[in-house]
Amino acid sequence: MKFKICLHGLALKNKGQLLTVVQKLLPQSTVKNKIKEKYLANDDLLKYKRTKFVPASDLGYTVICISGVMVICDNIQPLNEVIIQYEEEAVGEVRKLLQKLLASKVKFVLEEPDLVLRAKQLRGRSNMQDMALYDEDTVATALYCHLPWHIYATSKAWGDLLTCTNERNLVRQLRVKLRRLRSSLTFFKELLPLTTFEQYKMFIKGWANSLGDAREYDVALLTCMKIRHAQRGEDASEVEEVSRLEKILQELRAKASKKVLGVSKLNPITLQLAEMILTLHTTKIPETLEDMRLKSFIRLRLGMWCDKLMLLQDKYPDFSDMEQLHKVRIKVKRFRYALQGVPEISSSTSLLRGMKSLQDMLGFLHDDYVNDMLIGEILKQYPDDAALQYEGAMFCGWERAKAEAALASLPELWDSFTAQLGEWQEEHL
């Protein structure tokens, strides 16, 4: 079976930069050039120069450089691609080549190799079932399509974050992509060697944790903004003064952001994700599962996760305990991401809506809990600052009444969710 892995170059100095980098790294090769122009639906267009390198010695791979543009919805997207096509036996050589490419000065992210599919993605009209290696008759599709789908999304989100000027919203987006990848990895972990699963789970968790402080400060700053807007009253012309507490949170947030952005380098992250792709392409399915159809495996796993969700209230009976509630929240969120990531199984709109409502409620309670601890730690550092102590008290009391009301409504919301989940499980699994 032939596999492909694609590196998309960012912010190139000139059109020839990528080609120069590849030429320097490849052994003696046969080179073929071709100009391609392809019209897609809705007047979308692919226009590019394709340069194919075939190494003189049989290394088991070919390299294709693409330089041009993709015109989608009248928006021009640059194409600066290095696509490596390889046989399974050539993984070692491909790994060496990727290490060299990602040691260059060009910044890369991983992208879907199929340009037509990528165009569909930009229009929001594609799904993983359009991927070249998708085969519903084999469970290996989970390794060839499901997990790479999330890896591409994660890599792009890292690229957006580490090459932007205003990263605040991008931190949250990347954390969501990381959670979806981790959820999918956990869902399909039975297809992977345990050591492989644990290794990838740990570095995904490490990335998410590195972004956690910045995200917590963002949540606290959002509450500060709500308080300011409420204090303005109806006079929209009134000048908004940033409180001392908000200024401290902004400073802490800037330090957290600088810490993440200062140590996170794009190409090493891309290399880790590329290594993951290579591993997925060459992983042998366990003998007990290799003859199983993809949909059968997904049904089996979803059924197991449903059963565990139904037992959560018995396992964590005290929903007023925030530590227990956080564990429930994580498991509900993980199931929702898993269900949304398997197009092979129909998901009920009402179930997804119910899960989202429950997840939002649990998220609100968790944020309130974390905010209380965060502000408490800040106030301890300034015990004699009366103004700050007042602002902190106002902050902590701001949404406490809402939190208490939310906590009181939680049992009813949970019962509604489990009823919907039971109905969906009976119908689809």
The angle that helices 194-232 and 168-187 make with each other, rounded to 10 degrees, is: 150
| Per-residue pLDDT at 212 | 92
What's the pLDDT tens digit per position in 154-165? 999 999 999 987
Collapsing DSSP to helix, strand or coil, 229 comes out as: helix
Measured in whole angstroms, the distance separating CA 204 from the mean position of its chain's CA atoms is 10
Is residue 109 within 8 A of residue 158, CB to CB? The reply is: yes
Q: What is 129-286's CATH number, 2.60.40, 3.40.50, 3.30.1490, 1.20.120? A: 1.20.120
What's the pLDDT tens digit per position in 23-72? 999 888 889 999 999 999 888 999 999 999 998 888 899 999 999 999 99
| Sequence-distant (≥ 6) Cβ neighbours of residue 396 within 8 angstroms | 371, 372, 375, 376
Nearest by Cα to 182 from 165, 159, 213, 203: 203
How large is the average pLDDT for residues 179-202?
96
Fold of domain 1-126: TATA-Binding Protein (3.30.310)
| Per-residue pLDDT at 169 | 85
> SS in 3 state form for 13-46?
CCCCHHHHHHHHHCCCEEEEEEEEEEECHHHCEE
Distances (CA, A) of 332 to 27, 327, 351, 355, 356: 51, 9, 12, 7, 9
pLDDT band at 335 (very low <50, low <70, confident <90, very high): very high
- Supply the mean pLDDT for the chain: 92
Is residue 178 within 8 A of residue 212, CB to CB? The reply is: no
What's the pLDDT tens digit per position in 360-419? 999 999 999 999 999 999 999 999 999 999 999 999 988 787 888 888 889 899 999 999
Q: The pTM is what?
A: 0.94
What's the pLDDT tens digit per position in 66-102? 999 999 988 999 999 999 999 999 999 999 999 999 9
| Per-residue pLDDT at 240 | 62
